[in-house]
Chain A
Amino acid sequence: MVLDKDIHAELAAIVGLANIDDSDAMTDVYAYNWCMEVVNQMEGKDPVPYSPRPLAVVLPSTTDEVVGIVKACNAHGLTFKAQSTGLGPWNNPSTDNCIILDLRRMNKIVLIDEQNMLAVVEPYVSGAQLQIELMKLDLNCHMPGAGPQVSPLASATSMSGPGFTSPSTGHSSRNVLGVEWVLPDGQVLKLGAAGLEHEPGWYSGDGPGPSLRGIMRGLHGAKSGLGVFTKVGIKLFPFPCKVNWKVTGLSPHYQFEKPELMKWYIVDCKTYKSAEAFVQRVEEHEISFICSVLSNFGVSAIFASSIESLLGNAVLAMTKVPVVVLVAGRTRREFEYKTKVMQCIIEEDGLENMAGTKFEPPSISYAEALRSNLGLHGFIATGAFQSSHGIIDTLGVCLNATKKNIPVKMKYINNEQVANDFGEAVWSTSFEHGHMHHAEMLTLYDQTNPECVKGIADYFNDCNAMDLVQHLGIPFFIDGDARHDWYGPQCSNYNTWLRKIKTALDPACTADAGFYISPEKASNTTRNEKV
């Protein structure tokens, strides 16, 4: 499809001519994304990394401009898809009549409220940008596993949101406070304290009246399927330790002055049972800044800067069920308490801390941990990975799923369709030191090899089926009509309710529903999936 000239002019009048582009060259770039080839393969399409091409890309700079674009889409029967930093296929259109709203020009930190420990940000503020401002006030923000370059707003409003620092900084879905939300019909809805008539603020995400947080984002977010979020208030946390942020050396061999009150623990628990007991004790005492169960491949990756250093970490490569814990203290007394407790747990559990004895974590790993840059290390080995499952449950369930996933993955490893990690790759973390954990099983593959793409797509389908049959919860990639309608009947018919929400807020399906759910009797959804 080609964008009608009059509609182009209408959109250009809203954002300015320099901020709209409908050339094939531009729109094709916006049709591309990481893992889009896997989505296409899973939907029975060509395994190419491209979605349908948007009709145009527009760059609004204000909420009013977003409203104008959304209203224009409604008036002309077009769909729209909003994206912030844009990583992942969820940012892509599922129809061929879609306008992309790239929110890059909405990039302001609106407010940092030190006393109430909250910040209000626009969509294109990155986690690192926000953190650097917060550090001046000795505060920190949560960043998702995708890294510090992505949008905290997108994670808080529209996606899942576990991160490496989740034990101490929570989960994006739980950190969201007041929200400014452009609904699919162009109305602006302010949720939480932002919606108060008198003395509005951003300090609460619930009310006025019944809370709509669950409707707004639920567990995994609507991925722009319910409109556009233009501002969000998010919870802040104390910065975990004093730090002199000075990175020296030249890329990729950076060094960092190790914070005095910070210490890595790398503990090989050998068995999942032992790891479960160990992590539960660590989290029970609320002493970790980071506490992750990994595989030997994973632990090697987060301390590596290249494939050579990854494969050269022989000591880490020999671990069976490694758990990495980063302990930090704001005062010496706090740090000493935490490290004493750690030592006590390690000794009582008959374990050993490899960090500082058998393996010296590079100094830059402290900076990367503080900046939540560890997830990006997953790309070092093959240049591509994706996670399956995405379980949120107790640690026991998460690790049980990890164990059960091994034979599922081994089938594809034996077919040489995914990289051989012995089927064990996992990243599991608590959030808020609580009993609930997140677990995702990382899989390395070659996105340019159709056989590998087919393999990982089949593997993801097997993982989704496993989660359903084994009662492991709703995984990451249950999105779109076909998957929701497959899962829903087994899970309290949640799909019916999800569809009712979509129908109530967007009966014409103007907000692209490809990674959410279509309303009843919609004509705008063209995503024809097979499960």
Chain B
Amino acid sequence: MMAPEEYKRMVKRCLRCSICKWIPQVQIKNVNHATICPSMDYYNFHAYSGGGKIILANSVETGRIPMSDAVRDIVYKCTACGGCAVACKHLNSLEPLDIIQALREKLVASGVGPMPSQRQYIDAVKQAGNPYNQPAGQRASWLPSDVKTHEDADTLYFVGCTSSYRRKEIAIATARILNAAGTRFKVLGTNELCCGSPVLRAGDASSFKELARKNIESISALHVKKVVFSCAGCYDMFKVEYPRVGNVPFDVVSSSEYFNQLIDEGKLVLKNRVPLKVTYHDPCHLGRGAEPYIEWKGDVVQMLPMVSLNVPEKPKRCGAGGVYEAPRRVITRIPGVQLVEMDRIKEYSYCCGAGGGVKSAFPDFALHTGKTRVAEAETTGASCIVSACPFCSTNLQDAIKESGSTLQYKDVAELLLDAIDTAPPARPKK
């Protein structure tokens, strides 16, 4: 979605300074938690860094190398977490993540991309409405009989494919919390469609736009005022990407933001003590990735030859507009819960390893990254990782299991439910 002129201009400008491999330099607190790029940490060659991919884009753009399987493999062995972009833009102004996304779209357009497993799930989204190729009719099977929904509600809970089919405990907890707060809400049920995140990240922009338009259209037809998301990936799509496709005539709210509001309004009472020391993992798509694009209409004023200024100042997407405080507020308001932070948090958080199509195409890489994050969580002394994304949930739980860690994993909604529910329902065994 990067403008072609901007892409052409920007791919020529990497300084090869390697800043994109590290969290912002002033934030480095631990020798083992200094890096930001999972791809570099696993594959090591410079081409896997944000800067390396900018150079790769330049090599392709200038005809030095053709689109090839080798180019494709480098570009897709990336969780598209955007850490490189935060690091680069701390002082510079390149957009490595946007360039990676544009490269993926070019790979798809040229028939070289995406990876075969990604092609399969794109086809599944087109056919079944979800990347897991599960029957659409079973999409609402997560919904327990005791959860009340209201067809006339003006709040919609958009569940997302992963919580509908794979991480049902998150959907259940979210729905129960909404019930407990007395929020009248409804779900799309079997009519819910993939938000398009996996399709977009794989580089199929045209299919994504089609999905986005369908979702905007179908939800608009419901005349709801607010749509609540417990999936970071879906939230990112609706908050950041959909407005670039069309008008979104409803409020887009993450579940943790909404939970806070409900607590503030006294609709949720946290009556149970939950004696847990937890650390919070910022999902990329709820954190730095969830910062909306703000359309800038201004003038580029040439102050001196080669030195120009944007008037008014052009907003720089450094991740500051992500959702960071809301989940932390929910966690710290729960009686008995102690929050301890990891070294890499908020806009410079380390990715869980699942995003960007990596979990399906390069599971070894995804698992390695997840284990890296779990190891960092363990250094905090917490007994539980809390996050707010079903995709992070899957990969971090896989990583916990694989690394033999004793850490628990909970979604913010699950943790909150423990604090409000008088008789918490049994959750699936970890």
Interface residues of A (CB under 8 A from B): 19, 21, 23-26, 28-30, 32-34, 48-50, 57, 59, 85-88, 102, 104-105, 109, 126, 128-130, 132-133, 146-150, 245, 247, 250-254, 256, 305-308, 311, 364, 367-368, 371, 373, 376-377, 379-384, 413, 416, 418-420, 444-448, 452
Contact = CB atoms under 8 A, between A and B. Distances in A.
Contacts of B56: 25, 28-29
Contacts, number: 192
Nearest to A370: B26
A48 B59 CA distance: 11
A402 B348 CA distance: 40
Contacts of B71: 25
Interface stretch (B43-51, B207-215, B377-385, B411-419): B43-51
Residue in B28, B44, B45 with the greatest tally of chain A CB atoms within 10 Å: B45
Given A371-B25, A373-B26, A376-B91, A445 B348 contact: no
Contacts of A149: 17-19, 21-22, 25
A212 to B, nearest CB: 30
Residue in B27, B44, B90 with the greatest tally of chain A CB atoms within 10 Å: B44
A253 B324 CA distance: 16
B12 A448 contact: yes
B28 A129 contact: yes
Interface residues of B, number: 60
Interface stretch (B29-37, B117-125, B143-151, B194-202): B29-37
B89 interface: yes
Contact of A25 (B26, B65, B316): B65
B347 A368 contact: no
B93 interface: yes
Given A59-B44, A102-B44, A102-B46, A251 B55 contact: no
B68 A132 contact: no
Interface in B67-99: 68, 70-71, 74, 86, 89-94
B171 interface: no
Contact of B64 (A28, A86, A364, A367): A28
Residue in B31, B34, B58 with the greatest tally of chain A CB atoms within 10 Å: B31
Residue in B30, B46, B55, B90 with the greatest tally of chain A CB atoms within 10 Å: B46
Interface string B294-316: 00000000011111111001001
Contact of A29 (B12, B46, B86, B306): B46
A380 to B, nearest CB: 6
A150 B18 contact: yes
Nearest to B75: A25
Contacts of B313: 306, 308
A420 B304 CA distance: 6
Contact of A419 (B55, B74, B304, B324): B304
B319 A87 contact: no
Given A19-B44, A25-B47, A26-B47, A87 B16 contact: yes
B131 interface: no
Closest 6 CB pairs of A and B: A250-B320, A23-B70, A25-B70, A29-B47, A251-B318, A419-B306
Contacts of A150: 18
A444 B56 CA distance: 25
Contact of A444 (B18, B26, B306): B306
Contact of B26 (A23, A367, A379, A447): A367
Contacts of B9: 448
A247 B26 contact: yes
18 contacts: A87-B16, A87-B17, A88-B16, A147-B25, A149-B19, A250-B319, A251-B319, A252-B316, A305-B91, A306-B316, A307-B307, A307-B308, A373-B25, A381-B307, A382-B306, A382-B307, A383-B15, A419-B305
Contacts of A49: 12, 58
A132 B93 CA distance: 27
Nearest to B322: A250
Contact of B70 (A24, A133, A311): A24
Contacts of A382: 306-307
B223 interface: no
Nearest to B346: A250
B390 interface: no
Nearest to B67: A25
B47 A128 contact: no
Given A34-B15, A384-B15, A368 B31 contact: no
Nearest to B324: A250
Residue in A19, A28, A109 with the greatest tally of chain B CB atoms within 10 Å: A28
B52 interface: yes
A419 B347 CA distance: 33
Contacts of A308: 309-310, 313
Given A308-B309, A383-B92, A253 B320 contact: yes
Interface in B1-29: 9, 12-19, 21-22, 24-29
Nearest to B68: A25
Contact of B55 (A32, A253, A384): A32
Contact of A28 (B13, B16, B59, B318): B59
B70 A26 contact: yes
B52 A34 contact: no
A109 B91 CA distance: 28
B15 A29 contact: no
Contact of B305 (A57, A245, A416): A416
B318 A102 contact: no
Contacts of B26: 247, 254, 256, 364, 367-368, 371, 373
